Amino acid sequence: MKLLVTRPMTLRATAAIRAQFDATFRDNTPLTEAEAGQAMADHDVIIPTLGDAFTAGAFSGQSRCRLLANFGAGYNHIDIAAARAAGVTVTNTPDVVTDATADLALTLMLMVLRRASEGERLLRAGQWAGWNPTQLLGHEMSGRTVGIIGMGRIGKAIARRCHLGFGMDVAFFNRSIVSALDIPARQFEDLHQMLAASDVAVVAVPGGAETRGLIGTPELRALGSGSCLVNIARGDVVDEAALIKALRDGTIAGAGLDVYAREPHVPQELLEAPNATLLPHLGTATDETRTRMALRALENVLAFRAKQRPRDLVV
């Protein structure tokens, strides 16, 4: 079995993969559509990740590849319909990313509400003149309402952290009814009503066509001028142009973003927005989580090699 890993992995993950396969590891450059197509022509199995362009066009040529064991829970960089038509199995790594991503959501919430990134920029620029009673006044997390858009594994983990750690009220919007939560939470059937009830809205839905542009001008208006938006899902779930305008004109108070519509490109208007906290897609960026992701992808590859059903089958 000829295996390609499209990015470098942690030391522990690399050792585990090399113990099973004579694998090829690429550098940190994402695969273009043409490169993805060539990779499928040259390898039996590929461990791809975010940014690799496994589009419909990549599946149009002769394919030796029979498995894309995706490194990551999200797989919107893979055209699932094209993979299915080409007879290529796709797996992902869903539940090993939950805690790190939820922690990052809380990091962004705290940074936005306490205006931490504004304060750091002020200090680094040499503009801090000393403590004063009204400088960079933010807001406490405790006693406020968090509205979670998407109550899957990550959404539930965020909700627990917010309620148990900070005493926040939890509201949420989800496409299906969510029951048996272990904390008090109110589910809204209408997204706009949930946003209006929230002090901080956290986007935690899967990426893809169904959620692209979910948060636009009407939703930001519903969230309102005293509230903030945090996105740890996928960048294109939020209309970036609408968000930039909302930050500029005060439609919302601030935003904390870990993802962007055209990564690694970040619009200059966002870079210049004082009320935006921006991180470079750090959601799962811990050694422990990235190792677990790679080992889970490897587990799926080994099951496939043994002609067993992979644990995390997507298609």
Catalytic residues: 234, 263, 281
CA torsion sign for 185, 186, 191, 195 is: negative
Distance CA 111, CA 254 (A): 10
193-198, long-range: CB < 8 A, 24+ apart: 193/222, 194/147, 194/149, 195/147, 195/219, 195/222, 195/223, 195/224, 195/227, 196/222, 196/223, 196/224, 197/145, 197/147, 197/171, 198/145, 198/146, 198/147, 198/171, 198/223, 198/227
| Dihedral, 13, 19, 25, 31 alpha carbons, nearest 10 | -70
The pair phi, psi for residue 96, each rounded to 5°, is -85, -5
